Amino acid sequence: MILTVTLNAAIDKRYVVENLQLSEVNRIIECSYTAGGKGLNVSRVASIAGEKVIATGFVGGHAGEYIIEQIEKQKIQNAFIKVKGESRSCINIYDITNHTQTEFLEPGLFVDNSSQEELLKMYQELVQTCDVVTISGSLPQGCDQQIYQKLVSLAKEAGKKVIVDASGNLLQESIKAKPTMIKPNIDEIKALTGMEGLSREELITAAKTIVRSGVEIVAISLGKEGTLTVCEEGVYQVTVPKIDVINTVGCGDSMVAGFAIGLARKMPLEEILKFASAISVANAMQLETGFFVKEEMEKILPLIRVKLIKKTEELNEGVPT
């Protein structure tokens, strides 16, 4: 079972437009609403893959009711803390003329200390019932910046694997609690290292430093270039087949879901890398965020290539022990 944490749940609104123009009236051709926020995308993808999921976090107001209604329709078990205010909307503008995606992410509602305490208390019970925990996305307003650290520590104290998908200071703080895995993209790795224009070797060195600090797996998503994963065995390069990309929003969340499923099913790491990458690619083939078609994923799976490009001993060359 996977426990997903979405502290800043959202209604994801996708607007399809033709030739988006700033300072003009842009008529929307098609719009769709889904329960979103990274953790709820992880929940939906894991549920499609056949994994039992329970989702927790904060929701509020009519928007919060809508989010709960949507995830219950998707048969996703949930235990959200209801707070005052309205859950946010995250807008994804999909320009079919210029093939661009532009996102507007609201900051989210305000969560007071007592609601945060209530969540931590419930989380400690939920963690006992799961195999893997995923903690994803931004924090709502008022949230303690150390809350991800606390959630990671509680999961580890309960002997559970825990994946964090966050950015900036939140990711930096989370790493201090030594999560099982993080999945930064290149910008997030640059922010962690404070370095610009990272070469592949510098990316690997940065990830290796994080692994040395106690994070078991650092999977750097490189978009259509696949993934570079650094762990105790060494460095794996994952390459993915070329596809007709429809919508890449949610690919990172789909990858997190794939990793969580693989860890829950105790798959060998190379199988997890293939499985997670295939789900992420399959998500990009769908207009809907955080969604994939199993048959498409199964066709992609054999086309994923995983290669151990560096062993640990090579990684440690020249490093004082």
- Interface residues toward ligand TA6, by CB under 6 A: 8, 10, 12, 36-38, 41, 90, 105, 137-138, 249-250, 252-253, 289
Instruction: Please say which residue, 36 or 85, places its beta carbon nearer to ligand TA6.
Output: 36
Least separation, in Å, of the C-beta of 39 and ligand TA6?
8
Strands 88-95 and 53-60: unpaired
Residue, CB closest to ligand TA6? 137
The smaller minimum CB distance to ligand TA6, of residues 140 and 226, is found at: 140
Closer to ligand TA6 by CB, 234 or 250: give it.
Answer: 250
Shortest CB 130 distance to ligand TA6, Å? 21
CB nearer to ligand TA6: give 37 or 262. 37
Residue 17 or 139 having the CB closest to ligand TA6: 139
Closest approach, Cβ 247 to ligand TA6, in A, equals 10
SS3 annotation, the chain? CEEEEECCCEEEEEEEECCCCCCCCCCCCEEEEEEECHHHHHHHHHHHCCCCEEEEEEEEHHHHHHHHHHHHHCCCEEEEEEECCCCEEEEEEEECCCCEEEEEECCCCECCHHHHHHHHHHHHHHHHCCCEEEEECCCCECCCCCHHHHHHHHHHHCCCEEEEECCHHHHHHHHCCCCCEECCEHHHHHHHHCCCCCCHHHHHHHHHHHHHCCCCEEEEECHHHCEEEEECCEEEEEECCCCCCCCCCCHHHHHHHHHHHHHHCCCCHHHHHHHHHHHHHHHHCCCCCCCCCHHHHHHHHHHCEEEEEEEHHHHCCCCCC
User: Taking the complex as a whole, how short is the minimal distance between the CB of residue 289 and ligand TA6, in angstroms?
Assistant: 5
What is the token pair recorded at 298? Answer: 């199964």
Nearest approach in angstroms of CB 104 to ligand TA6 is 10
Distance CA 209, CA 157 (A): 24
Judged by phi (left if over 0) then psi (alpha if -120 to 50, else beta), residue 99 lies in left
State the nearest-atom distance from the C-beta of 11 to ligand TA6, in Å.
9
Least spacing, CB of residue 208 vs ligand TA6, in Å = 26
Q: Return the number of the residue (249 or 300) whose C-beta is nearest ligand TA6.
A: 249
- Tell me whether residue 107 or residue 302 sits nearer to ligand TA6 (CB atom): 107
Asked whether the beta carbons of 107 and 69 are under 8 A apart, the reply is no
Nearer to ligand TA6, 249 or 284 (CB): 249
For residue 239, the minimal CB distance to ligand TA6 (Å) is 22
